[in-house]
Chains A and B, each alone.
Chain A
Amino acid sequence: MRQLVVAGHGMVGHRLVEELVEAGGLEGPDGWEVTVVGEESRPAYDRVALSSAFAGAGEDQLTLVSDGFFDTPGLRLLVNEAVAAVDPEARTATTTSGRVLAYDHLVLATGSRPFVPPLPGKDLPGVFTYRTLDDVEAITAWCAGRRTGVVLGGGLLGLEAANALRLLGLEVHVIEMAPRLMPVQLDDGGAAALRTRIEALGVHVHVGASSQAILAGPDGTVSGLLLADGTELAADVVVVSAGIRPRDDVARGCGIDLHERGGILVDEACRTSDPAISAIGECAVAAGRVWGLVAPGYKMAAAVADRLTGGDATFEGADLSTKLKLLGIDVASVGESHGPGAILDDPGSATYKKIRVDEEGRLVGAVLVGDASSFGDLVQLHRSGVVVEDVLSLLAGTAAPAATGPSALVCSCNSVTTGDLVSAIEADGICDLATLKACTKAGTGCGGCVPTLKGVLERQLAAQGVAVRRGLCEHFPDRSRQDLYDICRIGRVRTFADLLASHGQGKRGCEICKPTVASILASLGGGYVLDGEQAALQDTNDFALANLQRNGTYSVVPRMPGGEVTPRQLMACAEVAEDYDLYVKVTGGQRLDLFGAKLDDLPAIWARLGQAGLESGHAYGKALRTVKSCVGINWCRYGVQDSTEMAKLLELRYRGLRSPHKVKMAVSGCARECAEAQSKDVGVIATEAGWNLYVGGNGGFRPRHADLLAEGLSDAELVRSVDRFLQYYVRTGERLERTAAWIERIDDGIDHVRRVVVDDSLGLGAELEAQMAAHVEGYECEWAATLRQPERLARFQTYVNEGAPT
C-alpha cells in the first residue's frame, strides 16, 4: 500500500478523493491508503452555495460527503486538524495535534484565505470575513438586532455578502475601490446595469471609494467606516471581501517553488517542484494563474487522480465563463469579456449585453447583466469556434440556438457534455433527473444547467421510445394537469364524467384525479364548489369547507386581510371558541385558527362568524391563503409605501382562486423585509421607486428564495403582473406543485416566466387578465353561499342515521 496525504478537505480536496476512489485507486497491493487532513471543524461542504446558509441551509444540505463515504476501507478523515509542517526529505507531514503522517505522495489542497487589507480597526469585534460556514454562523449571530452593515469589496463575493446582510435585515453599503462593480468579470456598461438593479434593492453602492479606517464605538465594537475622502459611514458590522490569497504557508515552509505573488507553482500535471507533492484548487498557480472558481479546481483534481492511478492527464487551463445570480440578478461573463464589442444597453430595464467577435466572426467573449438566458448558447459558440453569422440577431436574442452536438458542454462546473449525459442515460438506463445528477454530477455545482439537463433527459428518453410519464394517475395515464386544464378550457369540458369518458380511462377516477379536476373546473369558473357532481370530487377539506385534523375534528380559519381584525370580529371569534370549546392559535399568516370544531357545528359557527362580517379564509383549499404584511409607512420609521393596504388589496382580489397548490403572499414596506416576502409564492417589497415583485419563494421543508420578476412597479402594474403570473401558474402548474417547484421545472425557469408575464411573449397577457377579472367578479364566500341554501347543510352531519328508526 502506498500512502497518500491530502492537506485540506475543501471542495477540490474532496473531489480528488472521490475521483481516486472511482478510478479504483484504493484497490490492489499498489493501491493508495488515503489520509485527508482538514482544518475546518466539519467535512467538506459546498462553498459555492455558502450564501444559502444565511437562508437556513444547514451542514446537512451543504455537505459534499455522501453518507458512509469515509467508512470505505483505506480512507481516513481528520477534521479540526491542520497540516502544520512538511518534511520533504523524510516525506512526512506533521499536524497541529502533533501527528506525524508518512507519505509517498502529498497533495496540497489548502484553498485560499480572504485578503484583509491592513486597515486600522480590522481586528475589531464586528469585522468579519466570508469564506466558511463558521463565518456565516458568526455573521448571523452578530447581526441579530443590528441595523447597518458595510461590505468592503464589490466583487462576486462582496455582493454575495451584501445580499446576505440584506437578508439579515440590515441596511447595506458596498464599498468598491475600482470604478465599477465586479471589475474582474464586468465592463463599465454591465457594471452600471448591475449597479442600477442593486440600488433598486435598497443597497447603497460606493465605487471608486477607498477605505481609510474601520472605526470603533464606545463599547469597543465596530461603529463605522472612514473613507479616504473623509466620508464616515455608520456600521454595526463590516464584512471584508477584498479578494483572496492562496494558502501557500505550508508549501513555503518546506521550500517548494512559489509564484512571486503567492500561490504554489505547478506544472501541467499539477506537480510542484518536488515531484512527490502536488497542489490543486485555489492554492495552486496552474497554467500561469490562480483559478478562483471551482470548475478549474475540479479539473485539477481529476488530473491528479488520473496520475495517481497511472494515467497521464494534464490540466491546461479552463473556461472562466460564469453565470451567477447575485441578489436575484443574472450576471454572466463568457470568454474574454473586456474589450470592444456589440452592445445592447437598456437603462430602462437595466439589462446589458455585450458580444465580442474577432475578425473572422468567432465569439471571443460576452457580458450579460439582467438577463442571462442566452448564456448556454454563448458558451457553446465560444467553445465551438463557429462563425457568428449575424451578431445583431445574436445580440437581440433572436438567433437560432447554438449547435447542441455531443461535445456541447452542459454543466460547466463539472465539465459534463451532452455526450456524457446521453451515454449515461443509455448505458445505465437512467430515467429520472435525480439519478442522472447523482451519476454524472451534472447540475450539482451552481445548478444553472438543470433545465438543460432536464431537456437532454427528456429528448433522449423520447428518442429511446421511453414514454416520459407526466400522467396524473391510472385514469389519465398520459395527461398532466396542464393537459387536462387545456382540454377543459379549450374543449369547454365542464364535468369530470365527460373528461374521464373523452380523455381518460377506467371508471370512477380516484383520490388523485378527482380533486385535481375539481380544482381545474373551479379555476375555469365552475361556480359553487359543492354543487352537483363537484361534491363527489372534492377532498375532505373542501367538502367540509374546513381543515380535517388528526383527531377527526376540523379547524376553522376566517379571513383577516392584512391581518386586520375589528374588535367585534375578535369578539365573535372569542365567543364561538368559548361556546364550542375551540383551541385558538394565531397563525404565521397573521390570522386566527380555531381548532377542534365538530362537523355538525361548522354551520352554526360560520353563521355567527358571518354575522360579524368574517368570511371563509380558504385554509382548506388549494387556493390563496393569506397575504402577510408589515405595518409599513403608516407606523414604521423605514416604510416607504403602504404595505398593509396593498396586502389587503391583493388578498381581496385573489381570495378563493383555486390553484395547483396553496399560494402564499406577503408585502413588505421596505427592503428590510419584515413580512418575509421572499419566502412566498408571491412577494412584494416596496422601494422608493415602486413595488418590486418576487415570485417562487418557499418556506417549509425545502426553503427557496423567491426570484425577482419585475421592479419599480406602480400599483396597477403590480396587480396586472400578479394577475398574469397567477393565472399562468394555474394554467401550467402540475398537481400539488408549488410555484417554487414549478419555476424550477419549466424550461428557462424565471426567465421564461418573465417573458410571459412582463414581456407578454406568448401574447397571453390580455387573456390571463380577463380570466382573473372573471374570477374577481364571480367570487363569493363559500360559507355564505352554503348557509344561504339550507339543503347545502345536509352534509354537515356526523351520522346519516341520527334520529332514524333503528
Chain B
Amino acid sequence: MPLLEVNDLTTWFHMRDGIVRAVDGVSFTLDRGETLGIVGESGSGKSVSCYSLLDLIPKPPGRIERGTAVLGGEVDLLRAPREVLRRIRGKRIAMVFQDPMTSLNPYLRISTQMIEPLLIHEGLGNREALRRAIESLEEVGIHDAVRQIDLYPHQFSGGMRQRVMIAMALITHPEILIADEPTTALDVTVQAQILELIKARQRELGTAVIYVTHDLGVIAGVCDRVNVMYAGTIMESGTVDEIFYNSAHPYTQALQQSIPSLHDKGKSLYTIPGAPPDLTEERSGCPFAPRCAYEEAHCTGPNYRGLDAFRGRHKTACLRVLEGELNLKEENR
C-alpha cells in the first residue's frame, strides 16, 4: 500500500476575470521512503498541487474542486476535518518552501519558530524542545547552534535560512517531506549542499520526499520517480531512467532538449515553440497539442484519455504513444 495516494486532484482559482485551472485532475502515488520529483515549467501547477494536499492554498480565490489524497490508507487529506489535518501538518507531512527569505517569520526568533512543532505535536516542555532544536540545527550543519538559535531570521543568509527551514521541517521526523523548489532562490554551491543535506537526512530518517523543481538536472540527481507536469496535469510519470532515456511524451522530450547542460555543444539552444497555455480557457484533449511537433487531429478529440499506463508503472498522457502510432525513440534516430 502506498504511503500517499492522490487521485484526480483538481484545484481552481476563481478570479474576477475567469477560472484559473491551476491543477486539473492530478493522480499519483508515493511510497514510503522514496523520492518523487515533480518537474514542469513555471505556472504548470507544481506548487498548487502540493499546497492543496495540506489545504494551504489561499481561499478564496482558490478551491479544491474534487479528488482524494489518502495518507497511509486511512485519512483523506482533502476531506479531513480541520483539526485532524492540523495534527498531520508539521507532524506527518512537513514542508520546505521555495523562498527562504520570506518563509521565516521576521518578528520571531529562530528558536521560537524551531521549537513550535515540538510544542504543538509532541507536547514537549520548552527546555527539552530547545535542546532538540539545537541538536537538529547542528545536524543540518549550523555551527554554534546554541548561540545562533536566539537570532532573528534576517541575521541569517539565504542558505542558512533554508537549512533552518529543513531542520524545522524534519524536527518531528515526518513521514513525508514536501520540498517546493528548496534551492531555486540559492546560489549554485549552496544548492548542491542543500540537496545533499536533504538526501542525507532522508536516508537517516526514512522520510519520503516530494521534490518540486523545474530543473531536470536536480531531478536526475536525487529522485527515484518523476512526474512531468504541464498546464495543471501530469504528462508523464515514471522512473528517472524511463523519463530520461525512454521518454514517452513529446513534452518531456522538448523539456530535455531545452536544458543547456544535456545539450550538444555548438548547437543553438532549443526553446519550445508557441506560448504557454492559458489556464483560464476550457480545453478538451491534450493541453500540449498546440505546441507539439507530433500533434494530429485526434489529440484534441474525444478519444483523449489523459494519463494512462504505458509500460508497467511508466505512464504517459500522449494518446499517439499510447496507441502505438508514435515511437519517440525511433523519431529521434
A and B from one complex: no
